[in-house]
Amino acid sequence: MVIGLKFNKYTQACKDLDDEHMDIFQNILLPVLTGQSVIHIRTHEEPRLIGICEAIAARVSADFKLLHVLTEAGVETSLLLGEDSETENYSALNIGREQNENYSSMHIRAVDAFVQSKEGGILLILGADRASRQSDFVRKLKIHAKNGLRGEDATDDYVPKLILFHTITTDTPDSLSRSIQNYDLPMPRDGTLVSVVHGVCNDLEISHPEDEIMVQWVRALRGLTSVEAERALAQSMTVHEGSFNDESLNYLQSLKRNLIQQTGIMDFHEPSTSFSDIGGLDLLIDDLKMRRTEFEHEASEAGINPPKGCLLAGLPGTGKSLIAQSVAGEWQLPMLEFNMANVLDGLVGSSEQNIRKVLAVAESMAPCVLMVDEIDKALTGLGSSGGDSGVTRRVVGSFLTWLNDRKSQVYVIATANDLREISIAMPELLRKGRWDDIWWVDLPGQKTRRKIIEIHLRKIPSSRIEDAVWSRLDDLSQLNSGITGAEIAAAVNEANRISYHASKTLDIKQLTDSVKSIKPLASGINGLELTRGWMKDFARPASSAQAAKIESSSKYYLSGLDVTQTIRQAKEE
């Protein structure tokens, strides 16, 4: 507590705060309570900042009497604690330029006027991304931060003056980063989202949902900003005339999916798939079933660390993405998906902002499944002598740091087609303990191929399939050894399509022709057996069944999946 200022004690200031608001208290209100006079907050949610300013006045000190909000349009001044402004005398900040004054920006004039004012309060500078790159403005903030809330020439009757400057994406200026508190305001959690639901109900004059229904709707709103949540909920209630039912909830989910996809770097799913939709991979599935129980309180009491996630390596089409969807569906959790290559951006600072955005959304949606698709593609070229600007290493490094340090229940599933890039560019990504396990998803054997064929046939109306097909599944599964699950799905779909256009039911001949016509991707991979040998040392097999052997080989090879060069280099070293 600052000597000479009428501040509440710590226990009084944080009384009755829930976990969400306690985090905000520790990072914003507590620094104010200890005398810090400049705080940088980064967020997309400007409306929540007004509430934080009101909380500072209510919980820290009523001497923070006025709120001055500075935008590009100017300054608006109001009372913080809700007194009748018509009966209270206070002065707005004068940020006009004097006749003899040299040119200075509006932000600099606002800081000067605020520091020289006679009344205590908060100057909230909204959207200061450009201003934070002005050296004179940053210098003003640094001086005020050094002087503290009491100021340089504080007297006994001095009133506190706090500056909160807000940016959307810009980092704290380097010259300020060690002098002031900076905080990334997290996405709204359940407490804020409950308030959003009640607010929309009040605005639309509709009945408030009961507690059990409220839990479902708050879960559906996780991952959205408070403004997005309010807009999506109001739209859903307007379309469905204020009814909180399954139809309006599904409509809200579609709105949420669109909002997250509009970021251009993330996708949102509520998968309905389960482990029964996967052919084979029994060892991986058994492990995932056990992992689910390790999130529970009993496991924590037994000293079991909560699951981190797994890295799935294997050829394209072997079912890695399907596994992630099935985990989310089986565990009844939402799934957030992003491709690490899409996170990387050519604009300076954009890549770091993108990964922060993804991880913030994942944290707010917890418990959830986070799928990182083709993580190896982001590392392409890092192992070469040229390398890159270091952006990729910082982004992936930030992700790995979060993976180790996170506290929320986010189960991460990363997929990779080619571990060569990872082993060369960032071998630390493969170290033991980084993931719960690294799994090798190999080509399906004969029994697994039979299961996959059956799974995809059952997606077709039974009236379209000749009865004799079901007794010939063993024969079909022995054809074209080396095809992947995705290639089998494509063959079944193609056979059904051809039969449909021929006005025929699906028979064994058409299925046989379609399966035989597939040229397996694996046949164009040079050194596949070397890859399998390497994986025996560095990864766990996802299936207990023997993997398929390649019946055909190609005259030409896919260089991107050629492991022989990597292994040859390792032997030479």
Nearest CA-CA partner of 166 in 67, 42, 55, 72: 42
Amino acid at 31: P
**Predicted confidence (pLDDT) per residue in 113-159, tens digit:** 998 888 889 999 999 999 999 999 999 999 999 988 866 655 556 78
- Decide: 90 and 119 in contact? Cβ < 8 Å: yes
pLDDT at 372 over 60: yes
Shared-domain flag, residues 251 and 331: no
Distance between first and last Cα of the chain? 61
**Predicted confidence (pLDDT) per residue in 159-206, tens digit:** 899 999 999 988 899 999 889 999 999 999 998 999 999 999 999 999
Q: If you count them, how many residues does the chain have?
A: 573
Give 18's Cβ-side CA count (13 Å radius): 7
Confidence of residue 83 (pLDDT cuts 50, 70, 90): low
Q: Domain with 405 in it: what CATH number? A: 3.40.50.300
Domain-located, residue 2: no
Nearest CA-CA partner of 35 in 12, 62, 7: 7
Last residue of one domain, picked from the residues 441, 459, 484: 441
Candidate ranges 92-96, 360-364, 388-392; pick with highest mean pLDDT: 360-364
**Predicted confidence (pLDDT) per residue in 205-245, tens digit:** 999 999 999 999 999 999 999 999 999 999 999 999 999 99
Secondary structure of residue 370 in the 3-state scheme:
strand
Last residue of one domain, picked from the residues 262, 295, 325: 262
Domain-located, residue 299: yes
Q: Looking at residues 31-60, what average pLDDT do you find? A: 92
Shared-domain flag, residues 345 and 458: no
Q: Is the pTM of this model over 0.85?
A: no
Shared-domain flag, residues 130 and 145: yes
**Predicted confidence (pLDDT) per residue in 474-513, tens digit:** 999 998 888 999 999 999 999 999 999 999 999 999 999 9
Shared-domain flag, residues 170 and 68: yes
Domain-located, residue 244: yes
Domain-located, residue 91: no
Confidence of residue 385 (pLDDT cuts 50, 70, 90): very low
Rounded CA separation 272/511 (Å): 28
Which residues have CB under 8 Å from 334's CB, separation 6+? 219, 222, 223, 268, 269, 270, 328, 365, 368, 369
**Predicted confidence (pLDDT) per residue in 321-363, tens digit:** 999 999 999 998 999 999 887 887 656 567 888 888 899 999 8
pLDDT at 105 over 80: yes
pLDDT at 90 over 80: no
Element (H, E) at 217: helix 211-221
Q: How much is the pLDDT for 87?
A: 43
Q: How much is the pLDDT for 53?
A: 93
Q: In terms of DSSP H, where are the helices of 240-296?
A: 246-261, 282-293
Cα angle 493-477-443, degrees, rounded to a multiple of 5: 90
Which of 98-102, 130-134, 363-367 is the least confident region?
Answer: 98-102
Domain-located, residue 89: no
Q: Which residue has the tokens 């913030």?
A: 360
Element (H, E) at 121: strand 121-125
Domain coverage including residue 210: 190-262
Nearest CA-CA partner of 378 in 397, 359, 363, 361: 397
Element (H, E) at 35: none
Q: Tell me the average pLDDT of the chain.
A: 85
Q: Looking at residues 39-46, what average pLDDT do you find? A: 92
Last residue of one domain, picked from the residues 127, 162, 184: 184
Q: Looking at residues 380-388, what average pLDDT do you find? A: 54
Q: Which residue has the tokens 């399939």?
A: 465
Domain-located, residue 230: yes
Per the model's pLDDT, the better-predicted residue between 520 and 156 turns out to be 520
**In percent, how much of the chain has pLDDT > 90?**
47
Shared-domain flag, residues 463 and 541: no
- Decide: 244 and 233 in contact? Cβ < 8 Å: no
Shared-domain flag, residues 113 and 161: yes
Shared-domain flag, residues 427 and 538: no
Task: Say how many domains are in the chain.
Answer: 5
Angle between helices 211-221 and 226-239 (to 10 degrees): 120
Rounded CA separation 502/493 (Å): 14
Shared-domain flag, residues 202 and 311: no
**In percent, how much of the chain has pLDDT > 70?**
88
Shared-domain flag, residues 453 and 545: no
Shared-domain flag, residues 131 and 52: yes
Domain-located, residue 327: yes
Shared-domain flag, residues 487 and 551: no
- Decide: 339 and 374 in contact? Cβ < 8 Å: yes
C-alpha 199, offset from chain centre: 26
Shared-domain flag, residues 155 and 279: no
Domain-located, residue 5: no
